[in-house]
Amino acid sequence: MPDPAAASDARARRPDAVIFVAGTGTEVGKTWVTAELAQVLRDRECAVAACKPIQSYDPDEACPTDAAALAAATGQHPDDVCPPEHTYPVPLAPPMAAGKLGRICPTVDELAAGCRFGATVDIGLVEGVGGLYSPLASDGHNLDLIERIEPDLIIVVASAALGGIHDSMACTLPLSAYRHAVFLNRFDPRIEIHALNLQWLHDAGLAVATNLSEMADIVCTARRGRSRGDA
C-alpha cells in the first residue's frame, strides 16, 4: 500500500530558491512587488509559485485579496496561495483578526509547514504580513517564520521617499544571517531624495534594486548560488 505522506513529499520539494518578501511596514507595496516580480521571472522562463501563509483584509474594499493578486500573477488558484482557513476578513493583524472572529490562529510552525511548493517550481515566493515584526501567528511574527523556513533571499520592500533609509536599515539589521536585498518601491530618479537614499544605502553596503528587472537579477543570482551550494 503506497504511503500517502511519502507521495505528498514526492510531489513537494524545496525549489531552487525560496524568496521571502518582507516589508518595512504595512501598505509599502509587498504584494504588488511580489506579483510583478513573479511575472518578470515567468517571462524569463522560470517556474514560479507564490505562498501567502496567512492573510487578513478589509471585506469592504473592492481590491482583491493578496492571495488573489498573487494567484493572478502566477496562474495558481487563490486557495493554493493562501488556504481559506488562514484567511480572515477583518483588517487587523491575523492573530487579532482570528480572535475577533472567534477562530484559532495557527502557530509559526504550522505556517512554516504550509510553505511548500510543487516539484516543478523553480522559485517559490513567500510573502509576509505587514512589517518584519508584525504578528502573523499565534506565537510569533515574520522574523520567526523566516527563521523556520530559512529562505535563500529576503527582499525588504521599502519606500524610496523620506524615511526610507531608516526603515531599510532597521529592517535589514536583524537579517544579517541571511542573504537580503532592498527594493525601493515607487523609485523615481528625478526626485532628489529618492536618488540620495539610493546612494546612501549603496554606500552602506546594501544590495538595492529600484526596478523589477534588477530585482529579478538578484533573485536569479540567489538561485544559482543555492544550486552551486554557495553560502
Nearest one of 157, 121, 221 to 23, comparing CA atoms: 157
Nearest one of 86, 128, 89 to 107, comparing CA atoms: 86
| Helix, strand or coil, per DSSP, at residue 54 | coil
Residues in the chain: 231
Distance separating alpha carbons of residues 52 and 28, to the nearest angstrom: 16
Angle 66-74/30-43 helices, nearest 10 degrees?
10
Is 100 marked active-site?
no
Distance separating alpha carbons of residues 160 and 163, to the nearest angstrom: 8
Distance separating alpha carbons of residues 231 and 226, to the nearest angstrom: 8
Straight-line distance from the first to the last Cα atom of the chain, in angstroms, rounded to the nearest whole number: 41
Q: In b/e form, how buried is each residue of 59-94, taking b as 16+ CB within 10 angstroms?
A: eeeeeebbbbbbbebbebebeebbbeebbbebebbb
Catalytically annotated residue among 19, 46, 52, 76: 52
Q: Supply the residues annotated as catalytic.
A: 52
